Chain A
């Protein structure tokens, strides 16, 4: 396995060295060194109906060195590429923040820092991901472990066997890199995957041993699920053929989280093919549920202007054009309210585990 990794690194390293080659060959020809970077915005993504995922378009932006507005960014990009290449050679993984510190120094003969904040270096890493068509994991950059899993699943992580049925209510913390080279799924007897937006609801389900009763894998990403969580869900879906259900709050952000899991995100559209789960289902919390489950109106929260604008944007996204989705979002807008999953506790503390989800699963009440 070690040999396999080394080979892979070689390819990515070569791509990174390519950045230097761009500079050198342009200088050779007295040309302005320029990197062309795919544009990461809504305008440059297309939705592939057939495959059910967002794909990156072909629009690119030029980043030239000899342009006052871009010179610093260009220099920073080269510095980041250098730091990433260093990681490849040393076969280490690191965090975004460490990349920032690694590349920060004062430019010689000046008082100017190469970077003044992490917010300057983070987007450059994403730029390099899309430019070099290398995944973040391949660049050896990891995010914080902010996902948790519990359920009938056995993994091997760095040679350690992890049985996710025997980890108490805390579960296993999903690392940001879950590629097969690092984590192997050795056993999985679950029937489905339940991806929960919020840690609190996940805790409720874990504490109630929901996964044992309904034989499922409980996964949470604490908000917008990080890559590791999305990638693990995708692997379980792909390799073990498990359906994936997404349980989020009833607000525009919840809808968007679901869509990211399902179709991929706009910012990292190029990774959709490795991340998206086009068959994922939206199990709740739907704007129809308060009625159906008899939730009083007073546990709702008034939509603010930001919510309303975001919902209107969602209505225009090509992947929300199905009639049921238009109805779903418009119903929320016309009620003027959003609901948190936590609001189910208004009925009783175990309403989610004992009534809500069982009924949903029984009635197959979900949106596609």
Chain B
């Protein structure tokens, strides 16, 4: 085959390297070139979507289904209730134990709005199909890849289609589908489609059978659901583990978070190519009209200003702007002063809800939460929220001194547990479990000088201590570092906001720790004297050969001790007088009780109760007050065995609630 000779006249032949012998012609090459469907691409690159290994794949499938269910419920204005069931799938023989199984069936049920029949196949069996990509509005899902990718993974590993049951109202029938993706065309293939009887009046159920591994601990399905419960106290979650346990996470907030609004892009947030596309696609006939109608925060006045700045007539047809003119326009837009985008498109979890979530799931002495005012990165508004749970909880602390029954020998020390803090990260209420160290939240937590707040921290490490650090980023577009949505990209603006939020949490923690330390040191002072008085009196008595009025000396010394340690004032300090005064949005837990905005945790043994929840999903207005929700809690969503303080929680680990409920899904 000869090389094209078009320009070879100019190039001296002698300088050309010897030509390799070509064996394939351009035409042949051309014949091999063809379109790659997204599905095919992701089949080969499934690690990009979070299916790198069987353990992670199990988590990703659960995660995608749960995220979809929650988004659907919230968008429809229904208080979400989700049941997750993960079970070992067996091929006829008796199923292996969960820890050894490699095949699982995941069923997620919600009692949400349901899906209309026509859309079911495409939602579950077409990649990049969904409602969330094209709008700027905060939601868990973003691209419309997740659930269909999970379905594709199932198809790839077990060959089983995705099974869906959905019903939109009590009057409508329930539809049962079995679908798979045609990976070549990225189109759904329907295996089964029929009307069935379904016990739920409304909602969606998805069943996937996949290859996976179930292993507890870090980044497990269990951890994921526990963290979902922390950040979403308005969700009622029931989880049936592969080991046959049922964990229930009750609802502690009985109102939906405010609906986020959809917004138009902010001019600062778009790239040049995007601007060109928008210019081409707009329905406006003039540049100024385009600017003010297709962007947020661009008034007609600002639009005029931009046009003037770019020296382009405001009446120019947007389609006619390209090349250099467009570039000038883009630069002018970036240098014009424009208001920050509106923040009603994002709905933060809220300080109270974070507090409740942490308090419910994590055992501690101190909780606090901070919601930052909205900020902007690349034209996208976002809100950072942070929370802290600190300590081991009073029961744990009370249990502890019982341990060293023996006096310590020389060289023996009371061991200090030097565990590091645990960072739990969220983006739009979704827990992030992988790639912690790549995440802006983690970096900000490292960056914060926790030592200023009385927490020890070695260089370049997380602070040490029994502490959980909660960070949430809510935004219309969370900048993830990869498609599998595992870490938030490290924008300066984002990192700065996280740091500010953490610093505020730290400050409050510092106040709490100092107060507690003060009371403790007063207590210790008194204690020291009390202890040593005995010793001194005994020794004096022996020195005096036993001829000493011991009681008298002891009383005299104790009187002095009391006077010296502040007498009654200290008594008060030792009591629970140091409430969360001056500590907004905080909860302090002591052995005596709880102070602050703590939700009341039911202490009564639960009565098994599912139907009540149905009513709960649409609570009457009055029930939104806190008092009501408390009483509601007590009757409807009991979660623990009665205990001295009614708080049965794992230490710094989300709680294990036991209850049964039925599976379902939307």
Would A72 and B532 count as touching, CB distance under 8 A?
yes
Please give, as numbers and ranges, the residues of chain B lying within 8 Å of A81 by CB-CB distance: 539, 543
Given contacts A30-B559, A32-B560, A71-B529, contact A24 B548 (CB under 8 A): yes
Given contacts A30-B559, A30-B560, A66-B560, contact A78 B539 (CB under 8 A): yes
Would A111 and B407 count as touching, CB distance under 8 A?
yes
The answer, yes or no, to whether A232 is at the interface (CB within 8 Å) is: no
Would A107 and B525 count as touching, CB distance under 8 A?
no
The answer, yes or no, to whether A117 is at the interface (CB within 8 Å) is: yes
Q: A33–B408 Cα gap in the complex (Å)? A: 29
Give A66's nearest chain B residue, CB to CB: B564
Q: A27–B559 Cα gap in the complex (Å)? A: 9
Residue-by-residue, is A69-80 near B (CB-CB < 8 Å gives 1, otherwise 0)? Answer: 001101100110
Contact of B536 among A23, A109, A116 (CB under 8 A): A23
Would B543 and A19 count as touching, CB distance under 8 A?
yes
Give B524's nearest chain A residue, CB to CB: A68
The answer, yes or no, to whether A114 is at the interface (CB within 8 Å) is: yes
Closest chain B CB from A226 CB (angstroms): 24
The answer, yes or no, to whether A28 is at the interface (CB within 8 Å) is: yes
Residues of A whose CB lies within 8 Å of any CB of B are 16-17, 19-20, 23-24, 27-28, 30-33, 65-66, 68, 71-72, 74-75, 78-79, 81-82, 85-86, 105-114, 116-117
Give A104's nearest chain B residue, CB to CB: B410
The answer, yes or no, to whether B78 is at the interface (CB within 8 Å) is: no
Would A16 and B543 count as touching, CB distance under 8 A?
yes
Known: A33-B557, A66-B529, A111-B407. 4 other contacts (CB 8 A): A27-B557, A78-B539, A82-B543, A116-B410
Q: A318–B223 Cα gap in the complex (Å)? A: 71
Please indicate which of the listed interface residues B408, B531, B536, B557 has the most CB atoms of chain A within 10 Å of its own CB. Answer: B536
Closest chain B CB from A230 CB (angstroms): 30
Would A66 and B539 count as touching, CB distance under 8 A?
no
The answer, yes or no, to whether B404 is at the interface (CB within 8 Å) is: yes
Q: A32–B561 Cα gap in the complex (Å)? A: 9
Contact of A75 among B401, B524, B525, B535 (CB under 8 A): B535
The answer, yes or no, to whether B511 is at the interface (CB within 8 Å) is: no
Please give, as numbers and ranges, the residues of chain A lying within 8 Å of B559 by CB-CB distance: 30
Kindly list the 6 A-B residue pairs having the minimum CB-CB distance in the complex, ordered from nearest: A20-B543, A27-B556, A106-B407, A20-B540, A75-B532, A82-B539
Give B537's nearest chain A residue, CB to CB: A23
Number of residues on chain B facing chain A (CB within 8 A): 29
Q: List 14 A-B contacts (CB under 8 A).
A: A16-B543, A23-B553, A23-B557, A27-B556, A32-B564, A33-B536, A66-B560, A68-B528, A78-B543, A79-B535, A82-B539, A86-B542, A113-B407, A117-B410
Closest chain B CB from A91 CB (angstroms): 16
Residue-by-residue, is B501-543 near A (CB-CB < 8 Å gives 1, otherwise 0)? Answer: 0000000000000000000000011001101101110011011
Closest chain B CB from A105 CB (angstroms): 8
Given contacts A27-B553, A113-B408, contact A17 B532 (CB under 8 A): no
Give A89's nearest chain B residue, CB to CB: B545
Would B544 and A111 count as touching, CB distance under 8 A?
no
List residues 339-356 of chain B with CB under 8 A from any CB of chain A: none
Would B542 and A71 count as touching, CB distance under 8 A?
no
Closest chain A CB from B634 CB (angstroms): 40
Give A17's nearest chain B residue, CB to CB: B543
Given contacts A30-B556, A66-B561, A111-B404, contact A23 B540 (CB under 8 A): yes
Please give, as numbers and ranges, the residues of chain A lying within 8 Å of B556 by CB-CB distance: 27-28, 30
